[in-house]
Structure 1
Amino acid sequence: MTNKNAASEPNDLGRFFIERANAGDVDGLVALYEPNAVLAFPPGNLATGHAEIRKVYEQFVAAAPVLLPGRQHPALVGDDLALTASTLTTGEVTVEVARRQPDGSWLWAVDQPSLEP
């Protein structure tokens, strides 16, 4: 089920996340991250690397959430790093660091998906 589209710009990652989460596509969600990425979710927990991130998203999609796109802020890009952020419909804010890959695509290296305003 994995959507093979690569992120050609940093903010593609947020859009792909919503699409893949709503489709229950765990493989597609994990594919948004670098192999050694760090995910701070659920709040208070850290998942490092694809195996741990996969476990988080297996539990997440099992709850069958329906995610709505919030307001994605313009990415702040400097060389091969980008800071991405979205304000969710709940008012929470997501903050991520994406890195440009050797093929020019983008993957998240660090993801803090739940900051309260």
Structure 2
Amino acid sequence: MSSDDVRERAARPEDLGRFILERLNAGDVEGLVALYEPDAILALPNGQVATGSEEIRQAYAHIVADRPTFAPGQQQPTLQNGDLALTSARLVDGGATVEVARRQADGTWLWVIDQPSLLG
């Protein structure tokens, strides 16, 4: 059994926000990558975009390298239309996150677009 098999999967789009915080604080790079579709995009603080699992993996490896602590934001109501959902959170620093999740064939949810530092 791989470590992906034992990680909890998002039954609702809102679960992704909780999982990302848990996995960031644990330094769990593979667990972070597992929250995204294979061809997802992740906006980076420097204005660049990480596209696909390998670039997202590299970005998170860099982000958690010094083991920073991430504080929870205030989850905002999810907007859902069929198999797509818009999730967001207000951050402690006044910024916000905005993400688009898609329901997978097994009923779980993964992010396809992640903008973690809007207005931050």
Verify: 1:58 aligned to 2:69, yes or no: no
Verify: 1:14 aligned to 2:17, yes or no: yes
Verify: 1:108 aligned to 2:114, yes or no: no
**CA contact 1:71–1:88 (8 Å) conserved in 2:** yes
- Which residue in 2 is equivalent to 1:96? 99
Query: 1:45 is matched with which residue: 23, 43, 48?
Result: 48
What is the identity, as a one-letter code, of the residue corresponding to 2:109? W
Matched residue of 1:44: which SS? Answer: coil
CA drift of 1:63 comes to 2.2
Q: For the residues of structure 1 that align with 2:57 and 2:83, how far apart are their CA atoms? A: 25
Residues paired across the two proteins, number: 117
- The 1:43/1:83 distance shift into structure 2, 3 A limit, reads farther
- Which residue in 2 is equivalent to 1:29? 32
* Structure 1 gap segments, 5+ residues each: none
TM-score, normalised relative to structure 1: 0.96
Residues 38-81 of structure 1, C-alpha deviations (whole Å, 9 max, x = no match): 00012401000000000000000002110111100011000000
TM-score, normalised relative to structure 2: 0.93
Q: For the residues of structure 2 that align with 1:43 and 1:97, how far apart are their CA atoms? A: 21
Q: For the residues of structure 1 that align with 2:108 and 2:68, how far apart are their CA atoms? A: 27
Runs of 4+ that moved beyond 2 A: none
For the aligned residue pairs, the C-alpha RMSD in angstroms reads 1.3
Percent identical residues: 57
Matched residue of 1:84: which SS? Answer: strand
Q: For the residues of structure 1 that align with 2:66 and 2:60, how far apart are their CA atoms? A: 10
Verify: 1:5 aligned to 2:8, yes or no: yes
* Structure 2 gap segments, 5+ residues each: none
